[in-house]
Amino acid sequence: MELTEVNNSVKKRTAVWLYPEIIEKMDNLLERDNCKSRSEFIDKALNFYMGYLVSEDTTGYLSKILISAMQGILKETENRNANNLFRLSVEMSMMMNILAAGLEISDEELRSLRGRCVQQVKKTRGKVSMEEAIKFQQGIGE
């Protein structure tokens, strides 16, 4: 057994049995991983895999490319949702202004309606239908 001292720790020499295909793949990746030897490559691979096995938060071991792609998708979705909410808010504002121009409703009636609508949205988790609103206004619903 040959011993080499690096950074105040002692490396031990050990035999490793690998399939020829694995050795070929490793040799092809040595330069890509900036490794000077098979030993360094195996050391990095083992440290990575052992860290992955004992880690509860495996995000540190996921590919940076995968994490970057996921962040990009999330950002794109966030932007799309923000744009859709803005467009929806503009349409709602237009509708409310058109309705307000043609209706005479007191502040008290408006507050009461807002309270009822908040309760309805909570109850239905936002699934409000025109049919339900018409029934309510005609005195048929709740």
pLDDT of res. 2: 47
- Residue 82 belongs to what H/E stretch? helix 64-102
Q: What is the dihedral of CA 26, 27, 32, 33, to 10 degrees?
A: 50
Residue 1 pLDDT class (50, 70, 90 cuts): very low
User: pLDDT tens-digit profile of 2-41?
Assistant: 444 456 688 898 899 999 999 999 999 998 888 899 999 9
The percentage of residues in the chain with a pLDDT greater than 90, rounded to a whole number, is 27
Q: What is the dihedral of CA 7, 8, 14, 18, to 10 degrees?
A: -20
- The Cα–Cα gap between 58 and 60 comes to 5
Q: Are residues 44 and 70 in the same domain?
A: no
User: pLDDT tens-digit profile of 111-136?
Assistant: 888 888 888 888 888 888 888 888 88
Q: Are residues 52 and 75 in the same domain?
A: no
- The Cα–Cα gap between 131 and 42 comes to 67
Q: Are residues 86 and 115 in the same domain?
A: no
Q: What is the extent of the structural domain holding 132?
A: 106-142
Q: Are residues 113 and 80 in the same domain?
A: no
- For the chain, give the mean pLDDT: 84
CATH no. for residue 34? 1.10.1220
Q: Are residues 113 and 98 in the same domain?
A: no
Q: Are residues 34 and 71 in the same domain?
A: no
Please count the structural domains in the chain.
3
Q: Are residues 100 and 112 in the same domain?
A: no
Q: Are residues 47 and 77 in the same domain?
A: no
